[in-house]
Structure 1
């Protein structure tokens, strides 16, 4: 018969210390228990997939966007939530933190994940997966209004391009799964000649 093994006293003390440290860092400054202090999140509702971050070359401010349901705690009605930081540690929510809503025919099912990049004029542009009913996924863009770019550069609100949709399934030879054609990002073949190219993945 094999005698049962018990954790050593040193291991028990280590586990207790780790538990105490975990408890210490799960009480936020506002006193809400079990709230991660350094985790970025909205005050309520569903959140997933960070998009960005994007450092504004003019202001130096970091802009982080994320997938967000403005209407409830479960996944759905996906929009883009926005926070900013000067140091990647302390984050600020704008007064109206939803930068992009799912409100057009081509993204009624959600403004899914994407990225922020600079266009050929060194201006920020959001590239995202616009999803219409029946989960048809295509790629769209949105930009800060000129008044913001030449003003405070808050990047709080992004205006969808009248050219949307910019990449659809009929532009991609051989695509078979329009319900998994998403997550566009920037790619350059030659870093010495960094002309941006747009790519999106199709899940196998």
Structure 2
């Protein structure tokens, strides 16, 4: 039996994929190798909100409500054109079935037909008469509160009231002390027609009343004394 053999060149047999004489610690550039930096960013995931536990019964009720709404919309899209002429009648789309009388208030409510029979039935006199008698509900408009307009407020007129204190001689009689005439208005006749609060007071000291000595004789009192003596 012949044994297979393969001849190989000596140079090819001496070739190796690595150099056995190379030192592992050889520094080719003369500098230390840079630190390894990873290009993948390690981000901390955000904390998710804890899931609220919902009983399966509540989830089932919510799903059933969604399915019912979808079924009503499907019935309305399929046979809604048959009820377009009944504008005032109330149509109930919650009844299961395809060609069913859905007019609320009629004796035929819930009765099954085929498409042609339902079309003829809805255009009959009973349905037309009933639709004419039904009063359509009036849409209620939302009442918006009407606010009164804000009127601009006039600024208050700042007026300084001047109070003048005047000394009165005790030797005068009561009548002469009270008989003090105010000084004439600088506005003349025009100032007499103005309101008291619109007139401007003159900033000047008041005129002192005449004073008499204590031993003086008043002419009026002397006349009365002489008349009494006669």
Class of the TM-score when normalised by the shorter of the 2 chains: under 0.3
Please report the TM-score for the alignment, with normalisation by the length of structure 2.
0.19
Please report the TM-score for the alignment, with normalisation by the length of structure 1.
0.21
Question: Greater relative contact order: 1 or 2 (C-alpha under 8 angstroms, separation 6 or more)?
Answer: 1
More strand by share: 1
Whose Rg is larger?
Answer: 2
More helix by share: 2
